[in-house]
Chain A
């Protein structure tokens, strides 16, 4: 029986990675110049900030919630840091501390609205999406914020967070963020409660777990990841434009879903999310290597999201039909 379990477990774990490998192989064969270290770097770089958002929102989705404000929260955090740096004249390192702090504050507010004010997460975070977008415009007086780039003062910023020569330093942060997120989700009390809340919030509460506290924490952690994502975003693009950022959440959430996390809560893994992120990044780079531009990428991302959930449903149904004879 335990053997049986393990086999099923492996199969489930192998589905998403094999899709990733197949996609990569497909584009390597049919794409133009896809199979190169340059493209690999592009894939990595395009995954930086979406990846961070996806890790963060994985916690929220497993509790059975949703956070629609992650995209605008990220942009708002990047703008706040930019304002501190260029308009208030703060040293860069201090401005960079303010970035995740901003993300945390908005995440915390989401948590309060959901856990304490009992607003449905969809509504609370939809509101917060507009609030963060507006706040970014207000504090920056609708000015695009610029972060230092190569050749200017504080050029270390790009080197440290984006690329050092040919070395993609940002990937290290992505990896570190993944390891931390995976550890927290699977090995800490908070992580275990996240699953329990998503599986049955009331039963968890009656077990003596301070459910409100841990829900607030889940949204706050999500905000923190958005804040770190904002630093990686700023280092990649060096500008943060007020009024943008919404739409990012779609891709971040899509990656989580492709990674096999259930929107109903209670199940999902960080490894799945990581693979989901790379499936999307490979898709983006691959389609453009075949000469298909942005609108095609949007189209196919949608197809992959639907396909991933369909496949997962089929897999679950197939698993239920498995006959085990002792």
Chain B
């Protein structure tokens, strides 16, 4: 199919260096008009870097870029736009207090006699939205829209530049529900049929099969292969991504030892978002916490971890009532919380790997009043090996690491603290298949060491593969509890869906 079609973008032998890292090593990539070209690879494989080179955010250190047959140097994001390349980032960049129309035309407002012409601008926006088949009023406040609708606005904004021929979607489905994903796909196909070339970055294998025409695989900053989607299997793609075959299968029976003691029990937890939730956790158990986005799972975790104040409810640790009011209290009784948003809640990005790891237990690294930096680095070095954190040194700032490696630093923090109960909130979000499996393996090692885990996850296969028991929540309430023997995706969904 690609041989007759117009080539929109051709990147050849792109090189990019960062301090200590050869981020892109002679990578080539090609996008045709009217195709959805998926770009996949583990975290740190160089997908984002490649896209940043294409959109002018980074400058390449070698190789060539052709856009519609012309050799170009992309200077900055504005220049990329002029060349017809638009990107919708994973984190949406919208001004929540402005209207849809104002967001779309920011910087290019309709003007009459030197004043803003809101009416004309709204009409322009309506026309654009209609032409794209998006049913959102142009005058709506963006902050009031669902994330899915906001994303539509962002895409509409990208396409409002009339010359846009290349649309890059970076993990577009991460915040969306299944219905919304279907809607997005319809939209993407529509764009494709109009001759737009779409570069689609995602970790979700199932999606790629549904939406993409071709798939380019990257690994460790290198180009691996480009395949035609319908002629290839997902196992093949995953094998190319990680360089080995991975079998994913659900757990069939609970691994908890009979008669294992209850290490944590929560009774009638209540807060603004959490309505009377009770459950318990056995030693050596992985308790899955399932539910749709907004079901209150993270909120429950934050109450247990002392990150938020609860209105009422009791927490028992090894059968004893404990008074958890702050994270320090929770850590004191051996409860560690690994947030889903590691950059906001998990890491001090400006500090070194070693200092981040030592943060939960600085007292262990003090002689008298003096911090023993050598000891900190030594222990950090051990975890660098044990958890396989890929960083030049433990003195490297965490900011410069890839997502999967940052997650390993967060994990190391809590391993250093030696908490007996770990709450993993979406531990593999935004992490590639290979790193995922490493995290799973680490979780199993923790269980073998006698620790207990609560795992929040939105991915059913992950829950079914890891959990010994699953608690399901919906709209702040606990709607059910399933043993792993009886749990199926259908049963979980039935409990997670709001009953109205």
Closest-by-CB residue of B relative to A183 is B370
> Would B363 and A1 count as touching, CB distance under 8 A?
no
Task: Compute how far the CA of A195 lies from the CA of B349 in the bound complex, rounded to whole angstroms.
Answer: 11
A contact residues, range: 20 to 34
> Would A206 and B393 count as touching, CB distance under 8 A?
no
> Would B371 and A188 count as touching, CB distance under 8 A?
yes
Residues of B within 8 A of A208 (CB): 327-328, 330-332, 360, 417
Residues of B within 8 A of A198 (CB): 350
Q: Is B200 an interface residue (CB 8 A)?
A: no
User: Which stretch (A110-118, A119-127, A287-295, A317-325) binds chain B?
Assistant: A317-325
Q: Residues 129-150 of chain B: 1 if any A CB is under 8 Å from the residue's CB, otherwise 0?
A: 0000000000000000000000
Closest-by-CB residue of B relative to A202 is B345
> Would A189 and B355 count as touching, CB distance under 8 A?
no
- Tell me whether A5 and B393 are in contact in the complex, defined as CB-CB below 8 angstroms, given that A210-B328, A323-B61 are known contacts: yes
Q: Is A204 an interface residue (CB 8 A)?
A: yes
Task: Compute how far the CA of A208 lies from the CA of B17 in the bound complex, rounded to whole angstroms.
Answer: 37
- Within the complex, the shortest CB–CB distance from B375 to chain A, in Å, comes to 13
Residues of A within 8 A of B107 (CB): none
Closest-by-CB residue of B relative to A208 is B331
User: Which stretch (B18-26, B162-170, B268-276) binds chain A?
Assistant: B18-26
- Within the complex, the shortest CB–CB distance from B378 to chain A, in Å, comes to 15
> Would B346 and A196 count as touching, CB distance under 8 A?
no
Residues of A within 8 A of B72 (CB): none
Contact of A206 among B17, B327, B362, B370 (CB under 8 A): B327
> Would B348 and A324 count as touching, CB distance under 8 A?
no
> Would A195 and B355 count as touching, CB distance under 8 A?
yes
- Tell me whether A325 and B17 are in contact in the complex, defined as CB-CB below 8 angstroms, given that A199-B351, A203-B346, A267-B350 are known contacts: yes
> Would A203 and B22 count as touching, CB distance under 8 A?
no
> Would A266 and B328 count as touching, CB distance under 8 A?
no
- Within the complex, the shortest CB–CB distance from A123 to chain B, in Å, comes to 23
- Tell me whether A189 and B366 are in contact in the complex, defined as CB-CB below 8 angstroms, given that A4-B19, A325-B17, A326-B22 are known contacts: yes
Residues of A within 8 A of B362 (CB): 189, 192-193
Q: Is B160 an interface residue (CB 8 A)?
A: no
Q: Is B307 an interface residue (CB 8 A)?
A: yes
Q: Is B395 an interface residue (CB 8 A)?
A: yes
> Would A207 and B363 count as touching, CB distance under 8 A?
no
Q: Is B8 an interface residue (CB 8 A)?
A: no
A-B contact number at CB 8 A: 101
- Tell me whether A187 and B413 are in contact in the complex, defined as CB-CB below 8 angstroms, given that A206-B339, A266-B351 are known contacts: no
Give B14-64 interface residues, CB cut-off 8 Å to A. 17-22, 61
Give B214-246 interface residues, CB cut-off 8 Å to A. none
Give A199-249 interface residues, CB cut-off 8 Å to B. 199-200, 202-210
B327, B346, B360: most-surrounded residue (chain A CB, <10 A): B327
Give B341-379 interface residues, CB cut-off 8 Å to A. 344-351, 355, 358-360, 362-363, 366, 369-371
Q: Is A2 an interface residue (CB 8 A)?
A: yes
Task: Compute how far the CA of A203 lies from the CA of B409 in the bound complex, rounded to whole angstroms.
Answer: 13
> Would A207 and B18 count as touching, CB distance under 8 A?
no
A191, A200, A322: most-surrounded residue (chain B CB, <10 A): A200
Q: Residues 1-26 of chain A: 1 if any B CB is under 8 Å from the residue's CB, otherwise 0?
A: 11011000000000000000000000
Task: Compute how far the CA of A210 lies from the CA of B306 in the bound complex, rounded to whole angstroms.
Answer: 12
With an 8 Å Cβ cutoff, the count of chain B residues facing the other chain is 41
> Would A187 and B370 count as touching, CB distance under 8 A?
yes
Residues of B within 8 A of A324 (CB): 17-21
Give B92-147 interface residues, CB cut-off 8 Å to A. none
Residues of B within 8 A of A188 (CB): 369-371
Contact of B349 among A200, A209, A326 (CB under 8 A): A200
- Within the complex, the shortest CB–CB distance from B341 to chain A, in Å, comes to 10
- Tell me whether A206 and B348 are in contact in the complex, defined as CB-CB below 8 angstroms, given that A5-B393, A189-B371 are known contacts: no
Task: Compute how far the CA of A324 lies from the CA of B345 in the bound complex, rounded to whole angstroms.
Answer: 31
> Would A203 and B344 count as touching, CB distance under 8 A?
yes
Give A165-190 interface residues, CB cut-off 8 Å to B. 187-189
A200, A203, A322: most-surrounded residue (chain B CB, <10 A): A203
> Would A203 and B348 count as touching, CB distance under 8 A?
yes
> Would A199 and B350 count as touching, CB distance under 8 A?
yes
Q: Is B326 an interface residue (CB 8 A)?
A: yes
Residues of B within 8 A of A187 (CB): 369-371
B337, B362, B370: most-surrounded residue (chain A CB, <10 A): B362
Task: Compute how far the CA of A256 lies from the CA of B19 in the bound complex, rounded to whole angstroms.
Answer: 29
Residues of A within 8 A of B175 (CB): none
Contact of A195 among B19, B61, B331, B351 (CB under 8 A): B351
- Within the complex, the shortest CB–CB distance from A325 to chain B, in Å, comes to 6
- Tell me whether A207 and B331 are in contact in the complex, defined as CB-CB below 8 angstroms, given that A195-B355, A202-B345 are known contacts: yes
Residues of A within 8 A of B395 (CB): 2, 5
> Would B359 and A209 count as touching, CB distance under 8 A?
yes
Task: Compute how far the CA of A116 lies from the CA of B351 in the bound complex, rounded to whole angstroms.
Answer: 25
Contact of A1 among B61, B348, B351, B393 (CB under 8 A): B393
Task: Compute how far the CA of A146 lies from the CA of B28 in the bound complex, rounded to whole angstroms.
Answer: 78
Task: Compute how far the CA of A196 lies from the CA of B357 in the bound complex, rounded to whole angstroms.
Answer: 11
Residues of A within 8 A of B327 (CB): 205-209
Closest-by-CB residue of B relative to A199 is B348
Q: Is B392 an interface residue (CB 8 A)?
A: yes
- Within the complex, the shortest CB–CB distance from B128 to chain A, in Å, comes to 37
Q: Is B305 an interface residue (CB 8 A)?
A: yes
> Would B348 and A204 count as touching, CB distance under 8 A?
yes
Q: Residues 268-305 of chain B: 1 if any A CB is under 8 Å from the residue's CB, otherwise 0?
A: 00000000000000000000000000000000000001
Closest-by-CB residue of B relative to A5 is B395
- Within the complex, the shortest CB–CB distance from A52 to chain B, in Å, comes to 22
A188, A191, A193: most-surrounded residue (chain B CB, <10 A): A188
Residues of A within 8 A of B349 (CB): 199-200
- Within the complex, the shortest CB–CB distance from A150 to chain B, in Å, comes to 39
Closest-by-CB residue of B relative to A201 is B348
Residues of B within 8 A of A206 (CB): 305, 307, 327, 337, 339, 345-346
5 A-B pairs, CB-CB below 8 angstroms?
Answer: A2-B393, A189-B362, A193-B362, A196-B351, A266-B351
Residues of A within 8 A of B (CB): 1-2, 4-5, 187-189, 191-193, 195-196, 198-200, 202-210, 266-267, 322-326
Pick the 8 closest A-B CB pairs, nearest first.
Answer: A208-B331, A199-B348, A266-B350, A199-B350, A1-B392, A200-B348, A323-B17, A208-B328
**Other CB < 8 Å A-B pairs besides A206-B339, A208-B327, 15 of them?**
A187-B369, A189-B362, A189-B366, A195-B355, A200-B348, A205-B307, A205-B326, A206-B327, A207-B360, A207-B413, A208-B330, A208-B332, A209-B328, A210-B328, A324-B20
